Copies of this chain bind each other. A is one copy, B any other.
Amino acid sequence: WDEPVIFELSQPGERGILLPEVEPEIARAAGQALAALPASMRRQNPPRLPEMSQNRVLRHYLRLSQETLGADLNVDVGQGTCTMKYNPKINDQLARQPAMTELHPRQPDSTVQGMLEVIAKLEGVMCEVSGMDTVSLQARGGSQAIFANMSMVRAWHESRGEAAQRDEVITTIFSHPSDAACAKLVGYKVITIYPDADGYPDLEALKAAISPRTAALVITNPEDTGIFNSRIREFVDAVHAVGGLCVYDQANANGLLGIARAREAGFDLCHFNLHKTFATPHACGGPAVGAVCCTAALAPFLPGPLVREKDGCYQLVPGGAQSIGKISSFAGAAGIILRAYAWVMNLGADGLRAVSEIAVLNNNYMMHELLKIDGMSAPYAPGKRRIEQVRYSWKALCDATGVTSEEIGFRAADFGLHYWTSHHPYLVPEPATIEPTESYSRTDLDEFISVMRHIAGEARSNPDLVKTAPHNCPTHRVQGEMLDDPERWGITWRAYQRKLGERGLA
């Protein structure tokens, strides 16, 4: 499709949908209901939205959808850290029924007993999977859950009168950017630990960093390298020893369900992304849910409202006196909670464990095969197995051919595959993070591997082909420098049109 920007499709007078009539008696009674407002508070001109028939609106968005490579459409293993797995359609179907979609969050508890039961039961599952004591599902994404956890760390130290003294949070460079960012946001100085020669977070560096100023350690394990840090308990104990809390970023726990938990490693807080490990759709980037899990000691700080059961009746109760307050509106993204609940209830304990076992098998199979490609390596911990993903490096290929990891990704798109380099900074040169999850068959994995091998071959035989990719996508290489130029960026169509008129572009 060569689909225009929607404003270019406007035909004055066309309507996409009609509104219900206002009954004459209402119109009469209402009169000029806003006449008392200052004129400056009344809109003078209708918004300049496109005017389109319903058919054309639909066609436009259907075409855009076909120009979007959803996980349903491809072997989506190249988007590492994101846990792209199969999102069962039954869960969507269940969540798209009126008994879910038409619930108002302020309805009396007695009228939402089913919904509250789902929340309570999924909280119970999260408790068991993490080993923690209490859970809140209010956060609408993983980063918001991290923020909630950091807020609870702050509230905890405040409750103990140590807030002023403890102003540092320690994290690692291979933990998610939001771990560092959220610590900063709630007011902490961030200390970042780098890996040692084997790729593990440097325990000596941690020991050097901790002090009575330490509020918390925020860490992922395995980190984005997929290498499990065996000494995690030592990290946790060291931080606890100086009075800090330990926060486990389990956004991606896909390799550890029923295998290992935050509890046994001694953590005080952790979180899961339901849209990763628990199979809710990524939805172009949300809605989503981050499950905030904590020990009983931290429970008083959880955001409200909380679901409580009493005599088989569920009710929402406000957060306690020490609660951090609200993290987001109402009880969070309930439709996502329902989907995750359905997923868990379809798999059970054996199924969850099978998820992790096969995700890890797939990952190690993938690594075994990818490392046969000349020019690709898996830095750190040579010969060691990985958990659910691997951070690879194309440095050797890039040195030999000039083709970068990013360009390999653009070329992969020509084969109908997603591919992602890695979070910044690129500590591993020319990085690629591949996470096959449990959802893909051996045949699927082999297909991905063969594309990687093919592109690596192209890089050597015809590097220009790769360096000018994509060739087979809905659009071609963008003039990216405009996006960083305030004079030329166009964040809305109106801004683009204005700038185009004022000074030309491109």
A11 touches B443 (CB 8 A): yes
Asked, given contacts A1-B416, A416-B1, whether A441 binds B62 with beta carbons under 8 Å apart, the answer is no
Residues of B within 8 A of A88 (CB): 54
A441 touches B59 (CB 8 A): no
Q: A211 in the interface, Cβ–Cβ < 8 Å?
A: no
Copies in the complex: 2
CA of A89 to CA of B61 in the docked complex: distance in angstroms?
A: 13
Q: A56 in the interface, Cβ–Cβ < 8 Å?
A: yes
27 interchain pairs (CB within 8 A)?
A1-B416, A9-B443, A11-B441, A11-B442, A11-B443, A14-B441, A53-B86, A53-B439, A53-B441, A54-B86, A54-B88, A55-B86, A55-B439, A55-B440, A56-B441, A56-B444, A58-B72, A58-B86, A58-B89, A59-B72, A59-B73, A59-B74, A62-B72, A62-B73, A63-B73, A66-B66, A66-B73
Closest to A442 in B: B11
- Indicate with 1 or 0, residue by residue over A444-459, a CB within 8 angstroms of chain B CB atoms: 1000000000000000
CA of A66 to CA of B54 in the docked complex: distance in angstroms?
A: 21
- Indicate with 1 or 0, residue by residue over A76-116, a CB within 8 angstroms of chain B CB atoms: 00000000001011000000000000000000000000000
CA of A129 to CA of B86 in the docked complex: distance in angstroms?
A: 49
- Indicate with 1 or 0, residue by residue over A250-268, a CB within 8 angstroms of chain B CB atoms: 0000000000000000000
Closest to A9 in B: B443
Residues of B within 8 A of A53 (CB): 86, 439, 441
How close is A436's CB to chain B, nearest CB, in angstroms? 12
- Indicate with 1 or 0, residue by residue over A413-426, a CB within 8 angstroms of chain B CB atoms: 00010000000000
CA of A74 to CA of B58 in the docked complex: distance in angstroms?
A: 11
Task: Enumerate A386-444 residues with CB–CB distance to B below 8 Å.
Answer: 416, 439-444
Closest to A55 in B: B86
CA of A59 to CA of B86 in the docked complex: distance in angstroms?
A: 10
Residues of B within 8 A of A62 (CB): 72-73
Task: Enumerate A1-26 residues with CB–CB distance to B below 8 Å.
Answer: 1, 9, 11, 14
CA of A44 to CA of B506 in the docked complex: distance in angstroms?
A: 69
Closest to A86 in B: B55
Closest to A439 in B: B55
The 6 closest A-B pairs by CB, nearest first: A55-B86, A55-B439, A62-B72, A66-B66, A62-B73, A11-B441
**For A63, A73, A74, which residue has the most chain B Cβ atoms within 10 angstroms?**
A73
Residues of B within 8 A of A442 (CB): 11
How close is A111's CB to chain B, nearest CB, in angstroms? 20
Task: Enumerate A31-86 residues with CB–CB distance to B below 8 Å.
Answer: 53-56, 58-59, 62-63, 66, 72-74, 86
How close is A202's CB to chain B, nearest CB, in angstroms? 39
Residues of B within 8 A of A11 (CB): 441-443
How close is A26's CB to chain B, nearest CB, in angstroms? 22
How close is A57's CB to chain B, nearest CB, in angstroms? 10
CA of A56 to CA of B62 in the docked complex: distance in angstroms?
A: 22
Closest to A2 in B: B416
- In the complex, besides A11-B442, A59-B72, 6 extra interface pairs with C-beta distance below 8 angstroms are A9-B443, A53-B439, A54-B88, A56-B444, A58-B72, A58-B89
Residues of B within 8 A of A58 (CB): 72, 86, 89
How close is A358's CB to chain B, nearest CB, in angstroms? 11
Task: Enumerate A478-505 residues with CB–CB distance to B below 8 Å.
Answer: none
